[in-house]
């Protein structure tokens, strides 16, 4: 009996509801006063519990000689109740998913002091490089980069085999500011298939590393020989500042 009661509570019935339901199931049709005495639960509480079980569709109410009686519906109705609860939760999940961007904007911990994470070594830097792909609130990825950084074999391999394909599959658009060199200038400015648009920073301004800006995150990447490093700064002030800088440069570059 205890195991059955635990399962009933796991599907949404509270402690009193599960006790009353099992009592009716075993003893049959009863009035609220009889159930109250049998389970030593106050009558007012018992009536409220029985009415809730009726609303759940697993107990029925019957009137006889001006008295209300309650009886369990077929146990299969528990499955119908559970299906309804699952559908409600799925609907709620959809509504909460729509609220996530708004809730992120409301977070009180997005103050002046940002959160900082460090990544070292090839594996961790690749992990950091791919983080934007798993941010459900991302609307666009802004990138500062250089041709030399993109030609690093580890970065190139990850970009070709995973990053770009996944970004396109998830429909995440990217705008890229890349240092202008004789080689980089041969890259197409716009690719509809790759959801990517490029503009070129004049060659006199050197960009030895790479920066990702998305949501409230700014990631800086650096590779030199066998050394791989990335720093992630999570904070609204930092991301808004870097996003404004990117837009200013984007408007001024061709």
Q: How many CA atoms lie within 13 A of 147 on its CB side?
A: 15
In a 10 Å sphere around its CB, with 0-12 CB exposed, 13-18 middle and 19+ buried, how is residue 122 labelled?
Answer: middle
Residue showing tokens 């996003």: 243
pLDDT for 60 equals 92
* Tens digit of each residue's pLDDT (9 = 90 or more) over 65-114: 888 999 999 989 888 888 888 888 888 888 888 888 887 777 655 556 67
Which residue would you say has higher pLDDT here, 153 or 2?
A: 153
Is there a single domain that holds both residue 62 and residue 186? no
Q: Specify if 82 maps to a domain.
A: no
> Alpha-carbon distance 105 to 236, whole Å?
9
Provide the domain count of the chain.
2
In a 10 Å sphere around its CB, with 0-12 CB exposed, 13-18 middle and 19+ buried, how is residue 168 labelled?
Answer: middle
pTM: 0.56
* Tens digit of each residue's pLDDT (9 = 90 or more) over 193-221: 999 999 988 878 877 889 999 999 999 99
Domain of residue 11, residue span? 2-75
pLDDT for 239 equals 92
CATH at residue 61: 1.10.10.10
Dihedral sign, CA of 202, 206, 209, 212? Answer: negative
CATH at residue 138: 3.30.870.10
Please state the length of the chain.
254
pLDDT for 235 equals 87
In a 10 Å sphere around its CB, with 0-12 CB exposed, 13-18 middle and 19+ buried, how is residue 90 labelled?
Answer: exposed
Among 75, 105, 128, where does a domain finish?
Answer: 75
- Asked if residues 178 and 184 have their Cβ atoms less than 8 Å apart, the reply is yes
* Tens digit of each residue's pLDDT (9 = 90 or more) over 146-157: 888 888 899 999
Is there a single domain that holds both residue 124 and residue 232? yes
pLDDT for 2 equals 58
pLDDT for 107 equals 65
């Amino acid at each position: 009996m205890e195991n059955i009661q635990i399962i009933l509570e796991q599907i949404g019935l509270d402690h009193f509801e599960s006790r009353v339901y099992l009592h009716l199931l075993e003893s049959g049709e009863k009035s609220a006063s009889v159930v109250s005495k049998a389970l030593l639960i106050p009558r007012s509480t018992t009536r409220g519990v029985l009415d809730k079980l009726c609303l759940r569709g697993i107990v029925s109410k019957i009137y006889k000689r001006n008295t209300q009686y309650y009886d369990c519906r077929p146990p299969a109705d528990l499955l119908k109740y559970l299906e309804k609860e699952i559908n409600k939760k799925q609907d709620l999940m959809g509504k909460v998913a729509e609220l996530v961007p708004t809730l992120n904007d409301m977070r009180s911990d997005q103050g002046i002091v940002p959160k900082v994470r460090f990544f070292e070594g090839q594996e961790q830097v690749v992990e950091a490089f791919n983080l934007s792909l798993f941010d459900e609130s991302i609307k666009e990825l802004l990138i500062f980069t250089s041709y030399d950084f993109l030609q690093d074999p580890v970065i190139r391999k990850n970009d070709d085999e995973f990053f770009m394909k996944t970004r396109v599959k998830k429909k995440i658009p990217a705008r890229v500011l890349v240092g202008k060199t004789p080689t980089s200038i041969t890259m197409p400015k716009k690719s509809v298939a790759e959801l990517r648009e490029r503009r070129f920073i004049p060659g006199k301004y050197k960009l030895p590393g790479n920066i990702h800006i998305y949501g409230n995150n700014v990631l800086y990447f650096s590779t030199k020989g066998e050394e791989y490093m990335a720093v992630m700064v999570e904070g609204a002030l930092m991301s808004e500042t870097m996003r404004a800088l990117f837009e200013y440069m984007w408007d001024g570059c061709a």
